[in-house]
Amino acid sequence: MIKYIKLKTIAITAITALVFTSCSDDFTDVNSKGSVSYGNFWKTADDVQLAVNGMYEEMRTSEMFGRGFFWYINASDDMITGRIKADADNVKNFVCTGDEGYTANMYPRAFKVIRRANDILKNIPEMDVSEDVKNQAMGEAYFMRGFFYFWLAHSYGDDGENGGIPIITVDNMEAPAGSYERPSSVRENYEQIVNDLDAAAQLLPLFTEMSGADYGRPHKDAANAYIAKTYLYWAQYDESKYADVVTYADKVINSGSGRALIDTDNPSEDYRLLHSHLNNWTSEYIWSVNSGVNAGSILPGVMLENKGWSKYNGWGYYQPTEELYEAYEEGDARREVTILKYGDEFEYFGETRKYYSENSLSGFQFNKYMYEFKNESPIGTDINSNGDDPTTVYNVPLMRYAEVLLMKSEALIMQGLDGDEPLNKVRDRAGLDPISEATLEDLKHERRVELAGEFANRHFDLVRWGDAEEVYSKPLHGRIHSDRTNPDSDYTIQEVWSARNYDPSYMNVWPLPTTVIEGADIPQNIGW
C-alpha cells in the first residue's frame, strides 16, 4: 500500500482495534468508543501518526480502488466484463440490488474512513503536540473525509427525490445510530466536500514541499483538483459552478508545484512511460493508489489476461470494446498504449510477444497497466509474488493533470468561452493537430480517449452529460478471431454485450446495500 503506512502488520492491527473500536463496517455504529484505551490514546505525536495512517487502510482494498468503484465504471460503453460472473453482469446491466458481493461493501467502508477522519478532527486540536503536527494531520483528515464523500455522493445521491448522503461530521458523530437523515439534495454533499477539501488545501503543503517519506499523502494540488471535479459534478444541477471549476483547476495549474504533462514530443513513448511506475511521483500524477509488490491496487492484475498466458495469475476482467478502439483518431498515439489488439507486440516476462487471448470476450485487453510485467523476472520486484493479490509498483491513478486540463476546457466551453488551450495541450501530447473553437462533443471525445480504463469515471460522465440512455441502448462489440491462439488470425466484429434498458429516472444513481438501509434507517434509492 502506502510506503509511510508500512508498519508491522501487528502494530497496524493493534492500533486499529485500539483506536477505532467504534468503526464497524456499518457507518451508523459511530458512538460506541466504549474503552478506556480509546481515551488514553490521544496523547503523543506517535498517536497522531498512527491515527492518520489508519485512514489509508481502505485505499488499497479490492472493494474500493482495486475493483470496487470500478464495477460502476465498467457499466460504460468502453468495456465489458471479461468473465461470466452474475454479480458483475447484474451491475453492468443495471439489474443490481446493491447487495452484490462486488459492490456491497463500498458504502460502509467509505464511512469507516469518514469516522476515522472525524476522530482525528475531534481529538487532535486539544492534544499537546506541535502546530505543524496538528495542521498536517487535520489537513489529511479533511482531505480523506472529502475524498470519500466525493465517491459516495455522486454514486448514490442526486438532486431529485433520493436526495444526498447522510452528512456526518464532528458536530453530530455522537448521534444515535439510525438517526442520520439524507439531505434533500446531493448539492449539500457537494458543498460539504468543497468545504472539507478547501480546509485541506489551506493546511497541506505542495507536493514539491514534501519529503520522499511522505509521498502518497494528500497535498494542496490533490485537494484543489478534487474541488474542481466536485464543482464539475455539481454543475450538472447548477451551471454557475462551471466558473468554480476553472478557478480551482487554475489553482492546480498555477500552484507553483510544476504541474505539467509528460511531453517530450515523442507521443508514443511519452504516453507509454506515463502509465508506468517511472512516473509515479512526477508532474502529472496528482492522486493515486500508492502501490507496491506487497499491497496496493490490484487493478493491473485484474485487467491482465486471465491466467496470464501461464506466467501470472491475471484475472481477465474489464476488457475494451470495439467502440472504444474506434473512438481514437488515426495517428493518436494513445490508442496502442491503451489497448492491445491481436497481433500487437508487447514485452511480457522478458519476451516480445504478439497479443492473442484464448479468454478475452472482446478480443482486446487494456494495455495501460502492462508495463510492470515486461521484465524477465518481475515477480517480487515489480509485481506481487502472490497472484491472488496482483498489485504492481505502478501507482494506479485516480487523478491526473490531464484530467485537470480537460475539466477546465469543459467548464470554459460550457460557459460559452474558449476551451481550446487546455484541450489542445492534451491533444498535442498525443501527437494530434490542435482543434479550433472546440465544442462539447470535442471535449467528450478527448476525455474518453485520454482517460479510458481509468478511475476518471466514463460511466458518470455519460450520466451527467445526459448521454447514458442513448449510449446504453446500443449493443457493444468486439473482434472474434477464427483462431484465438493465433495473433495473426482473421476476425469478425460481433456483438459481445447486448443493449441495455437504461432508465435515467432512477438509474443515474446506484442502489444502496440492504445492510445500510436497515442499519441506518434510510430509504433505498427510488426504483431499485
Residue 178 has what pLDDT? 84
**For residue range 386-441, what is the model confidence (pLDDT) as tens digits?**
999 999 999 999 999 999 999 999 999 999 999 999 999 999 999 999 999 999 99
Residue 33 has what pLDDT? 38
Angle at CA 26, nearest 5°, toward 75 and 150? 45
Residue 347 has what pLDDT? 98
> What is d(CA 15, CA 50) in angstroms, rounded to the nearest whole number?
7
For residue 333, which of 213, 471, 429, 240 has the smallest C-alpha distance? 429
Residue 40 has what pLDDT? 84
> What is d(CA 428, CA 435) in angstroms, rounded to the nearest whole number?
10
Name the 3-class secondary structure at 45. helix
Task: Express as a percent the part of the chain with pLDDT over 90.
Answer: 91
Count how many residues are written for the chain. Answer: 528
**Alpha carbon of residue 122 to chain centroid:** 28
In this prediction, residues 500-520 reach a mean pLDDT of 96
In this prediction, residues 220-231 reach a mean pLDDT of 98
Residue 37 has what pLDDT? 62
In this prediction, residues 362-382 reach a mean pLDDT of 97
Classify strands 491-497 and 396-400 as parallel, antiparallel or unpaired.
Answer: unpaired
In this prediction, residues 302-317 reach a mean pLDDT of 96
E strand spans, 120-180? none
pLDDT band at 30 (very low <50, low <70, confident <90, very high): very low
**For residue range 342-364, what is the model confidence (pLDDT) as tens digits?**
999 999 999 999 999 999 999 99
144 with 218: CB under 8 angstroms? yes
pLDDT band at 140 (very low <50, low <70, confident <90, very high): very high
Angle at CA 189, nearest 5°, toward 106 and 65? 25
Average pLDDT, the chain: 92
22-25 LR contacts (CB < 8 Å, sep 24+): 22/115, 22/119, 23/112, 23/115, 23/116, 24/108, 24/112, 25/105, 25/108, 25/109, 25/112, 25/515
427-431 LR contacts (CB < 8 Å, sep 24+): 428/263, 429/261, 429/262, 429/263, 429/267, 429/270, 429/271, 429/402, 430/267, 430/271, 430/332, 430/333, 430/334, 431/267, 431/268, 431/331, 431/332, 431/333
Cell of 191: 458543498
* Secondary structure tally for the chain: helices H, strands E: 20, 10
In this prediction, residues 288-300 reach a mean pLDDT of 96
**DSSP-derived secondary structure letter, 523:** P
Residue 314 has what pLDDT? 96
Residue 22 has what pLDDT? 31
Residue 25 has what pLDDT? 30
In this prediction, residues 163-172 reach a mean pLDDT of 97
pLDDT band at 84 (very low <50, low <70, confident <90, very high): confident
272 with 371: CB under 8 angstroms? yes
Residue 250: CB partners within 8 Å, gap ≥ 6? 408
Residue 7 has what pLDDT? 30
Name the 3-class secondary structure at 367. coil
Burial class (CB in 10 A: 0-12, 13-18, 19+), 33: middle
Angle at CA 75, nearest 5°, toward 26 and 322? 155
Residue 21 has what pLDDT? 31
Give 519 or 231, the one with higher predicted confidence. 231
Residue 1 has what pLDDT? 33
In this prediction, residues 78-97 reach a mean pLDDT of 95
Residue 128 has what pLDDT? 95
